[in-house]
Amino acid sequence: MTGITGGTPSMLPAWGGGAVPRNEPLLAVEDLHVEFATRQGAVKAVNGVDYTLEAGETLAVLGESGSGKSVTAQAIMGILDTPPARVTRGRVLFRGTDLLGLSEENRARVRGRRIAMIFQDALSALNPVFTVGWQIGEMFRVHQGASRRDAERRAVELMDRVRIPGAARRLHDYPHQFSGGMRQRIMIAMAVALEPELLIADEPTTALDVTVQAQIMELLTEIQRESGMGMILITHDLGVVADAADKIAVMYGGRIVEHALVHDAYRAPAHPYTRGLLDSIPRIDRKGRELHAITGLPPNLLDMPPGCSFAPRCPYRQGDCAVEAPPLHRIGPTRGSACHYWREVLDGSHG
């Protein structure tokens, strides 16, 4: 276990993490498919996801529960339970290297050091029987061979950085002795310990009080800006997206149905589902009016219908929608929509 530069150069072109050769994006997910083997059959949780992320950028991934946001993130991270999960197709290019093609050993070298992840529920994500200092310091001890004292000292620094009051005193406390917000700060400290190039945050604030949510988001964006890492922010909260993210990717039924720069999407969505999501945000200027919740049920991942998977719930639906699956139409250099009638949606000619 040596430092960050312990890889095989021939397999990992940009291993050093310094200058980026060619114009490789930090992360490019291409045509990713993930299935779960279950008693009822294959659950097609991810059905062709594409997105890219540059260093220093934040991509917000939106979509209702079950749309495949977490599964996609876990596939990138390589922490899916296999079996039952299986990546059936696609590539995950990290600085040009396909992570899915790496041996488990080489993959573990990327995990934690170069790509880190934080989870929704910090209480269950932290090990209840070890102190937080031990869990943070483990990153330094295992990955860099740091001594116990050195690891502790650096753990305190990190806890200070994520603004845990009295960090040095709380080093030997256990996760259950912290509040929800403080626990999530500890998760963040652990994730950014080795200064990863990419941070995946899977609903980092969903389990927290509203006031605490804002603080955690502020901390995340601050760290992201200071360190210049890329961030994938999975969230249900459309409110935080506008402030924190550069671009969004909207998932539905295991696909990206729209991707765009945040302000483009907010100004005029190009997919009926995105429009439905945006219409469901309570806004001050719409106070008193009914929210446009999207009616109907998410698609059955065991038996995906032919044609557009959003068709049963779509107000823009036309005859051919249920027959022919829409490809991801390229709308501009930074934008795509998986809808046959994206022009109509963009013009807002409907609802």
Partner 1 sequence: MGRYVIRRLLQVIPVLLGATFLIFSVVFALPGDPIASMAGDKRMPPHIVAELTERYHLDDPFLVQYWHYLSGLLQGDFGETFAGGGVSEIIAGKFQVSLNLALTALVMETVVGVGLGFYAALRRGRAQDTLVLAATLLLISVPTLVTGFVLQLLLGVELKRSTGIDFFPISGAFDGWRSYLLPGFVLAGTSIAYLTRLTRTTLAETLRADYVRTAVAKGLPRRRIVGRHALRNALIPVVTYLGADLGTLMGSAVITETIFNLPGLGQELFRSIYERQQPVVVGIVTLLVLVYVLANLVVDLLYAVLDPRIRYE
Contacts (CB under 8 A) with partner 1, residues 190-249: 190
Q: Which residues bind ligand ATP (CB under 6 A)?
A: 36, 38, 43, 45, 63, 65-71, 84, 301
Q: State how far the Cα of 119 lies from the Cα of 121, in Å rounded to an integer.
A: 6
* Residue from 181, 272, 276, 299 binding ligand SF4 (CB under 6 A): 272
Cis omega (within 30 of 0) for bond into 83: yes
Which CB sits closer to ligand SF4, 188 or 277? Answer: 277
Which range, of 11-19, 27-35, 173-181, 306-314, touches ligand SF4 by CB under 6 A?
306-314
* Residue from 11, 142, 291, 323 binding partner 1 (CB under 8 A): 142
156 neighbors 167 (Cβ within 8 angstroms): yes
The CA angle 263-264-265, to the nearest 5 degrees, is: 90
- Cβ atoms < 10 Å from Cβ of 222: 13
Residues 6+ apart with CB under 8 A from 175: 122, 123, 126, 127, 128, 132, 135, 183, 186
Which CB sits closer to partner 1, 208 or 321? Answer: 208
Q: Which residues pair with 248 in a beta bridge?
A: 60, 260
For residue 141, CA distances in Å to 5, 91, 306, 326 come to 16, 32, 51, 50
Q: Is 19 in the site for partner 1 (CB under 8 A)?
A: no
Contacts (CB under 5 A) with Mg ion, residues 56-115: 70
Q: Is 248 in the site for ligand SF4 (CB under 6 A)?
A: no
Q: Is 113 in the site for partner 1 (CB under 8 A)?
A: yes
Residues 6+ apart with CB under 8 A from 18: none
* Residue from 12, 85, 316, 331 binding ligand SF4 (CB under 6 A): 316
Which CB sits closer to ligand SF4, 34 or 338? Answer: 338
Binding site for partner 1 (CB under 8 A): 77, 79, 81, 108-113, 116-117, 119, 121, 124-131, 138-139, 142-143, 174, 176-177, 187, 190
